[in-house]
Amino acid sequence: MESKSPKSKGWWWWLLVFVIAALVVAASLITLWKNFRCLGSKGHHDSGVTIVDKYAAALSIAMQFFDIQKSGKLVDNRIAWRSDSGLEDGIEANLDLSKGMYDAGDLVKFGFPMAFTATVLSWSILEYGEHMKAVTELEHARESVKWITDYLINAHPTANVLYIQVGDPEVDHNCWERPETTTERRPLTQINSTCPGTEVAAETAAAMASASLVFKKINSTYSKLLLKHAEQLFAFADIYQASYSISIPQVQSYYNSSGYGDELLWAASWLYLATGDPSYLTYVTVQNGNKYANWGSPNWFTWDNKLAGTQVLLSRVNFFGAKGIPTAENLGLQMYKLTADAFMCGLLRDSPTATARRTSGGLIWVIPWAALQYSVAAAFLAVVYSDYMLTSQTSALYCNGELYEPIDLRNFAISQVDYVLGSNPMDMSYLVGYGNRYPQYVHHRGASIPVNASTGCSDGFKWLNSTDPNPNVAVGALVGGPFLNESFIDSRNNSMQNEPTTYSNALFVALLSGLVSTSSVGPSFA
């Protein structure tokens, strides 16, 4: 994200700002309350929570994609055209790796983005579980997290061994077939102490730690098991520091890592929240903040870069739990929050430091591949930060001298989700199954092949190249999204724009969960 250096101001300017802030704080909070009440009038009330109907409908649709992506023996299967698959995954290592979720439109289980999916989905439950409960999606969300974490537990048979991939991407991409009928060999890839992969081990630790909080009050035994794996995996990641892209060069063609420092900070942050152990807070501030945090230089939140997420997550501690924290650690937390502030300022279109990385229709846009990942991720962080500000009675965000309120961040998030749902130059929804017009040729093997088709590896490509719409609707799939010029080509061969990813869906579900109700989050996780 572009970020201009703050202009130098004299003490008199800061005094003026503080005076202004003191004068506007009461009025701004009253205004915010009125704005939230106004937004809520478009929805309905359920158990004291005001619901925005269109976001509730979108959330229920988006949640279905996790069911579409499930591998293993399906329980209470909600998708008529899906059935059991991958039942022998892991057999060569005498492990049950049948669960988990397929990555996108293919049949590979990539552990790195899958763990990120679990972490984001857990975060959304922790922040907005009450919102999800009000629209009867909370249990569904928990089930989706557990489907992944069950797999991750089995993929971590010993402290310093983690299986990070099921299937050969090259073999997979040379076939076009349903997961239920594939017969190709599905080899396993692991990291260990002689072939380490810090970013994957750390992200998996983050998934386990965040999920341990999700299940803490409803399944304490499972929660403790997750936390045990999280602590082991973090130690493994930290002691044996090396990028999995270096240790296993073949992964560079698919989920190549740009570095592992962000994952170490991300995992340690989640472990601090899950355990309360101050050593994790010291790790992310005093010990490694200067080394890995890139303070003062905000960047985009993605499967490969967790820094913006870490900045917002640690800002939660700054907003609500900084009392009693030692001075050195507290200073580090303030640096994370200042960087989070800079990230938020970059999102607001009329901010002096607003990023230019957006389409003419207002969508945050960074790269052509999975373009919507960046916009929905940024919007999720914005609505979370807005709620942190509102709940902590932080009335203003300062962006190079300009003052913005929590409602400004929320409105930005709304602009992104509304764009995705159809308020865009293409006049179409990028969420499959939502609205009257959405992609019909999604790049997805299971959706594109009839259930009763008898095809093998190579002859299945006739379904990829078919001119007919997909026979099975991939309900809830968030496709890649538009190009910078706002164009979108609905073609099955257009994987750049028309392939969904499970992690993008998790980010969109998180965003919708934050906006489905107009009530803000509390100071502590549920």
Question: Active-site positions?
Answer: 443
* Cα 46-382-390 angle, rounded to 5 deg: 60
Secondary structure in 3-state letters for 37-72: HHHHCCCEEECCEEECHHHHHHHHHHCHHHHHCECE
Report phi then psi at 102, rounded to 5: -65, 150
Checking DSSP bridges between strand 188-192 and strand 161-166, what pairing results, if any?
antiparallel
| Tokens, residue 13 | 């300017």
Measure Cα distances from 328 to 282, 284, 290, 292 in Å: 8, 11, 12, 17
For residue 375, which of 263, 476, 293, 482 has the smallest C-alpha distance?
482
Q: Which residue has the tokens 């003026």?
A: 16
The candidate with the shortest Cα–Cα distance to 413, out of 484, 502, 518, is 518
* Coil/strand/helix, residue 490: coil
Characterize 396-431 residue by residue with b for buried, 16 or more Cβ atoms within 10 angstroms of its Cβ, and e for exposed.
Answer: bbebeeeebbbbbbbbbbbbbbebbbbebeeebbbb
Judge whether 192 and 232 are in contact, CB under 8 Å: no
